[in-house]
Structure 1
Amino acid sequence: MKKATAPSMTVISKDVRTTFKDLITKIENFPQEIVKEAVKAGLHPTGPQCWVYTWESCDMEAEFNLKICLPVATFGNSFTSDKFKLEQLDEYNHVKKTHLGSWDSLMDSYQILTDEMKAENLTPGQSCRELYINCDFDTPANNITEIQLQVN
């Protein structure tokens, strides 16, 4: 298992406070709208959507913060929006695993990654990222998701 550092990046983002149970109803249409807002503002998407999950505790039933992000190049353009903000994400120390297939089995990949972290005596942070490399809603078996678990 190799530790990596993702560089800082400029993103359009939306913060949502939610639980896993309420996730779908809380995100509304933000994943689609964020792309429309970027294009409308003349910003250039530079990578896949990145969702950042941050917990205060290890309780999977508890509320957490979800930051829905789209990496962008601004080319000097300004950005104003009622729903989204333009911000810089800090560099991110992590370990990663690529999950191939349906999100129904995403937790299996998380378990493999956390088991590998334990074996290497790596201390997890309080956040993780999911980068949605390919989202195939018609054939979920074609999904490609990169999981990044923060390492302290």
Structure 2
Amino acid sequence: MQTKTIQPIHVLYFETETSLNELMDYVRIVAHRLYREAIRKEMEITGPIYWIYNGADGKPETRFHLTIALPVTAPETPLTDSEFKLKYLEPFHCVAVQLYGSWAGLGKIYGELISELMSNKLVMTGQNREIYLNMDFQNPENNITEVQIGILN
């Protein structure tokens, strides 16, 4: 477990209210549209896709706020006629660990991190991030995902 602070990141993003039961409605679909829009608007893509969970508690039915974000350079002209918006993600103090392999292992990673946070008396903020460093849909054992759990500074 590593503690770090992520500096502000400029992103093109999508937001919705959803639940863990409904996440498959967004997998591959939103990221693909974000990439297309960044290219259409001639923005340089500067990092991997982020999934940001605010208020998710691990229960499949709980509603929470989901942001799917793609780091990009600011466009030359204002972003109009787009389904997406632009913003800077706030600085984010967190603990982080990388998961190598299938996303089926995410639950275990979260459980281990939360247990370690509690034993170190660190307080969670309610925001978690997953950064998809490598996505291999044909060979999920090749996935690399950084899991970040927000903590109070």
Distance change (3 Å), C-alpha of 1:33 and 1:54: same
Question: Is this contact kept in 1: 2:10–2:87, CA < 8 A?
Answer: yes
2:76 is equivalent to residue 44 of structure 1:
no
Within a 5 Å distance, the mapping from 1:105-144 to structure 2 comes to: 105-144=105-144
Within a 5 Å distance, the mapping from 1:12-31 to structure 2 comes to: 12-25=12-25, 29-31=29-31
2:64 and 2:52 map into 1 onto residues whose CA distance is: 10
Superposition deviation, residue 59 in structure 1: 6.4
**Secondary structure of 2:122's aligned partner:** coil
2:28 and 2:109 map into 1 onto residues whose CA distance is: 26
Which stretch of the first structure deviates more once superposed, 111-120 or 90-99?
111-120
2:139 and 2:62 map into 1 onto residues whose CA distance is: 31
2:100 is equivalent to residue 100 of structure 1:
yes
Superposition deviation, residue 120 in structure 1: 1.1
1:104 and 1:80 map into 2 onto residues whose CA distance is: 38
Question: Is this contact kept in 2: 1:16–1:26, CA < 8 A?
Answer: no
Distance change (3 Å), C-alpha of 1:75 and 1:30: closer
**Secondary structure of 1:31's aligned partner:** helix
2:21 and 2:123 map into 1 onto residues whose CA distance is: 27
Question: Is this contact kept in 2: 1:42–1:77, CA < 8 A?
Answer: no
Give the root-mean-square deviation of aligned CA atoms.
1.7
1:85 and 1:37 map into 2 onto residues whose CA distance is: 11
Partner of 1:32: 32
Question: Percent same amino acid among aligned pairs?
Answer: 30
Partner of 1:82: 82
Alignment-mate amino acid for residue 146 of structure 1: E
> Per-residue displacement from partner, 1:69-101 (whole Å, max 9, x unpaired)?
000112634322431001111110100010010
Question: Is this contact kept in 1: 2:20–2:58, CA < 8 A?
Answer: no
Q: Unaligned regions of 5+ residues in structure 1, if any? A: none
Which stretch of the first structure deviates more once superposed, 19-28 or 2-11?
19-28
**Secondary structure of 1:3's aligned partner:** strand
